[in-house]
């Protein structure tokens, strides 16, 4: 039986349908999850999609982080379930303290929308095992508040422990410290990134298919766990 991957829809989520589609294309069963639910409906992995949950009021992800479903996401993540946060999902994971640091307004003070080159720095996570370490890929990037910041100790720890997963290549589009585009937790099951791999899974709608390995990786991870 194909593993079940859930995608949470918050009020203001934009890319939940794209994430569900990316999951289906990968061969997994895609399950929509609702922010107001207190159950993950037996899924094997969770994706928090991009968008502007709760209108980005207060801070991006600050209110979504306390949605009823997040109690279960936090509990499952701490128990080892693969969780992927894309863009707004990354912001929610940081607000929920599942990942360190925070995302602030882009230093260029504009919304950035482009095809962004990235280096995959770590393939030692549940979501990146299908990449080669050091591989260069191109993924859609679109955000207004994508500047990754953390204090010096946290940055040192992230770098030292190999927890920087994706780094911007060519140019830094938003002022992220250390050109960080994505990070993981200590265990490697929770990954957050600002670029949108769910938009790079189909030649018809994306400039590359470089997003596919993320979804293939988690299937591998789940298959190995059984």
59 interacts with another protein by CB under 8 A = yes
Integer Cα distance of 5 and 16 in angstroms? 12
From the list 84, 150, 155, 180, which residue makes contact with another protein (rule: CB under 8 A)?
150
Catalytic annotation, pick one of 60, 95, 121, 196: 196
Q: Map tokens 């990354």 to a residue.
A: 90
Integer Cα distance of 84 and 98 in angstroms? 11
- Tell me the per-residue interface mask from 4 to 43 with another protein, x by CB under 8 A, - otherwise: ----------------------------------------
- Minimum distance from residue 66 beta carbon to another protein (Å): 7
Asked whether the beta carbons of 65 and 94 are under 8 A apart, the reply is no
- Minimum distance from residue 105 beta carbon to another protein (Å): 4
- Minimum distance from residue 108 beta carbon to another protein (Å): 8
194 interacts with another protein by CB under 8 A = no
Residue 215 DSSP SS3: helix
How many residues does the structure list for the chain? 226
Could you confirm whether 198 is annotated as catalytic? yes
Could you confirm whether 72 is annotated as catalytic? no
Asked whether the beta carbons of 38 and 71 are under 8 A apart, the reply is yes
Q: How many residues bind another protein (CB under 8 A)?
A: 20
- Tell me the per-residue interface mask from 164 to 183 with another protein, x by CB under 8 A, - otherwise: -----------x--------
**Phi and psi angles of residue 119, each rounded to the nearest 5 degrees, phi first:** -110, 130
**Residues in contact with 184: Cβ distance below 8 Å, sequence separation at least 6, in sequence order:** 99, 122, 125, 127, 163, 165, 190, 191, 192
Asked whether the beta carbons of 36 and 72 are under 8 A apart, the reply is no
Give, as ranges, the residues between 95 and 134 that touch another protein (CB under 8 A).
95, 100-102, 104-107, 109
Segment near another protein (CB under 8 A); pick from 33-41, 57-65, 114-122, 125-133: 57-65
192 interacts with another protein by CB under 8 A = no
Closest CA to 163 of 182, 138, 150, 135: 182
Could you confirm whether 132 is annotated as catalytic? no
Q: Which is nearer to another protein, 24 or 105 (CB)?
A: 105
Q: Which is nearer to another protein, 105 or 178 (CB)?
A: 105
Asked whether the beta carbons of 192 and 90 are under 8 A apart, the reply is yes
Rounded to 10°, the helix 16-26/212-225 angle is 60
Show which residues are catalytic: 87, 196, 198
Residues that bind another protein (CB under 8 A): 58-59, 62-63, 66, 94-95, 100-102, 104-107, 109, 147, 149-151, 175
């Amino acid at each position: 039986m194909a593993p079940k991957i859930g995608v949470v829809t918050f009020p203001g989520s934009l890319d939940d349908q794209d994430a569900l589609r990316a999951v289906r294309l990968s061969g997994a069963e895609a399950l929509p999850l609702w922010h107001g639910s207190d159950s993950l409906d037996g899924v094997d992995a969770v994706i928090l999609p991009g968008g502007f949950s709760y209108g980005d009021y207060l801070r991006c992800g600050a209110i979504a982080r306390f949605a009823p479903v997040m109690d279960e996401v936090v509990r499952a993540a701490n128990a080892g379930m693969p969780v992927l946060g894309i863009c707004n999902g990354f912001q929610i994971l940081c607000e929920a303290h599942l990942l360190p640091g925070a995302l602030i307004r882009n230093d260029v003070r504009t919304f950035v929308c482009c095809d962004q080159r990235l280096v995959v720095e770590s393939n030692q996570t549940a979501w990146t095992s299908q990449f080669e370490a050091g591989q260069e890929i191109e993924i859609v990037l679109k955000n207004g508040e994508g500047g990754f910041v953390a204090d010096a100790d946290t940055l040192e720890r992230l770098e030292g422990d190999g927890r920087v997963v994706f780094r911007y290549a060519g140019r830094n589009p938003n002022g992220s410290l250390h050109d960080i585009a994505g990070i993981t937790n200590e265990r490697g099951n929770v990954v957050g990134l600002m670029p949108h791999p769910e938009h790079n899974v189909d030649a018809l709608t994306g400039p590359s298919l470089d997003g596919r390995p993320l979804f293939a990786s988690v299937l591998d991870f789940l298959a190995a766990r059984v």
